[in-house]
Amino acid sequence: MIVDLTDVTTSTVAKEMNRLRESGGVVALGRVLTLVISTRPEYVEKALTAANLASREHPCRIIVLAAGDAQAPTRLDAQIRVGGDAGASDVVILQGQGANATESESLVGALLLPDAPIVVWWPHDAPEVPAASPLGRIAHRRITDSAAGPHARSALMALRTSYRAGDTDLAWTRLTGWRIQLAAIFDHLNANEIRSVTVEGAVDSPSTILLAAWLTQCLHVPVTMARSKAGQGMRAVRFSRIGGDVVLSRMAGDVASLYQQGHPVQRIALARRTDQDCLAEELRRLDPDEVFGDVVQNGLALTDLKEVAPSER
């Protein structure tokens, strides 16, 4: 069911939500959190697709703020989606004009689930300091995506200075599979034999930089980056060591290969993660991601960001 409301207040939207619930169209029980998405109108449906799929694991209320024209007369339009149009959630889309075109706690306050955690996601155009923004101040977790901008490195440097407990970034969440596999490799290697590490990834991939920073902290050895073509994401990690190099490589598809001298090549499932996969993971935990905070605040400063030519493997 989709209900459109034009030129309304958030109080009117909240009353309509109550009416729908009383009439049996909205089931509020079981909602575990409120997910607030702040984005532009052209990205609303893409963000909602990811959020609706993630809501099947984490039933929630989704509130979307779609910033309109700040120069237009002040106005607020809304759309309520329930049932099959909202996944395992209920959805409210608010599109503001004029004074309502900028994100504000007052726009969402009446629609928040009582006594439930609040997560805010900026798919694009994250504020300079998420925790200090109007929505960030009321959120338990704040999710940004440094890969959505044109300059991955500068976006990460901004995260380093603006980080507060509760912040996270989808560029880090996309690395979960890589970090699990690399941690398993660590268990079978003598860390003292590792002399250097090369991380290969796309020029537009902030995940490459974050993985290099994480490895720098874990291993305390020089880590350099080999840049490949844009759009390819993470491609390989090479450990240079006394007993022969070890390479985890995913050149194409969702299967990686582990090369190690004296051992047969191993094939490992390492799928590329979608936004809904990453969002669902972030909604599983509402406590601060201390590892991410340590990597952003300290690991990036230790990482030598000089680049080398990509490997041939």
DSSP of 60-122: EEEEEEEE--TTSPPEEEEEEE-GGGSTTEEEEEEEEEGGGGS--HHHHGGGSPTT--EEEE-
Q: How far apart are CA 140 and CA 118, in angstroms?
A: 5
Q: How confident is the model at residue 313 (pLDDT cuts 50, 70, 90)?
A: very low
| pLDDT band for position 307 (cuts 50, 70, 90) | low
Residues 21 and 123 in one domain: yes
Q: For residue 106, is pLDDT > 90?
A: no
Q: How big is the chain by its Cα radius of gyration, in Å? A: 22
Tokens 């004296």 -> residue: 262
The answer to whether residues 209 and 76 belong to one domain is: no
Mean pLDDT (the chain, rounded): 88
* 64, 44 Cβ separation under 8 angstroms: yes
The better pLDDT of the pair 175, 17 is held by 175
How far is the CA of 28 from the CAs of 8, 24, 31, 107, 164, in angstroms?
22, 10, 6, 20, 31
Domain for residue 161, yes or no? no
- Predicted pLDDT at 135: 96
What pLDDT is attached to residue 238?
Answer: 95
C-alpha distances in Å from residue 186, one per residue of 254, 276, 300: 22, 29, 21
User: Which residues are within 8 A (CB) of 232 and not within 5 positions of it... i.e. 6 or more apart?
Assistant: 201, 202, 205
151-208 pLDDT per residue, tens:
877 888 888 899 999 999 999 999 999 999 999 988 888 778 889 999 999 878 899 9
Residue 159 within any structural domain of the chain: no
Q: Crossing angle of helices 206-219/152-162, nearest 10°?
A: 50
Together in a domain, 294 and 226 = yes
Q: Do the domain assignments include residue 166?
A: no
For residue 32, the model assigns a pLDDT of 85
Higher pLDDT among residues 57 and 129, named by residue = 129
* 200 and 289 assigned to the same domain: yes
What's the pLDDT at 157? 85
- Residues 201 and 208: beta-carbon distance below 8 Å: yes
Which secondary structure element, helix H or strand E, spans residue 240, and what is its range? strand 234-241
Residue 137 and residue 182 share a domain: no
Q: Are residues 135 and 6 in the same domain?
A: yes
Average pLDDT in the 249-275 region? 92
Total number of domains in the chain = 2
84, part of any domain: yes
Question: Residue 183: inside a domain, yes or no?
Answer: yes
Query: Is the confidence at residue 25, as pLDDT, over 60?
Result: no
Its pTM stands at 0.90
The mean pLDDT of 9-19, rounded to a whole number, is 89
Residue ending a domain, choose from 97, 129, 144: 144
Residue-level pLDDT at 304: 62
Give φ, ψ of 28 to 5 degrees.
Answer: -85, -25
Q: Is pLDDT above 60 for 47?
A: yes
pLDDT-derived band at 80 (thresholds 50, 70, 90) equals very high
- Residues ≥6 apart with Cβ < 8 Å to 201: 207, 208, 211, 225, 226, 227, 228, 232, 233, 234, 235
Q: Verify that 97 and 191 share a domain, yes or no.
A: no
Q: Is the pLDDT of residue 84 over 80?
A: no
Residue 214: per-residue pLDDT: 94
Which residue range(s) make up the domain with 10? Answer: 2-144
Tokens linked to 30: 């079981």
The mean pLDDT value for 97-108 works out to: 88
* pLDDT-above-90 percentage for the chain: 57
Shared-domain flag, residues 137 and 204:
no
Residue 124 lies in a domain: yes
Same domain for 182 and 284, yes or no, is: yes
Contact 35, 123 (CB under 8 A): no
Backbone φ and ψ of 217, nearest 5°:
-70, -40
Structure tokens at 29: 């029980």
> Are 7 and 139 found together in one domain?
yes
Model pLDDT, residue 312: 44
Under a CB-based contact definition with an 8 Å cutoff, are residues 170 and 143 in contact? yes
Specify the higher pLDDT residue, 197 or 312.
197
Q: Tokens 């993985």 appear where? A: 211
Which of residues 117 and 1 earns the better pLDDT score? 117
Residues 184 and 282 in one domain: yes
**Alpha carbons 118 and 9: distance in angstroms, whole number:** 21
Cβ–Cβ under 8 Å, residues 288 and 148: no
Mean pLDDT of 58-78: 91
* Last residue within a domain, chosen from 122, 144, 166: 144
Question: Is 185 in the same domain as 260?
Answer: yes
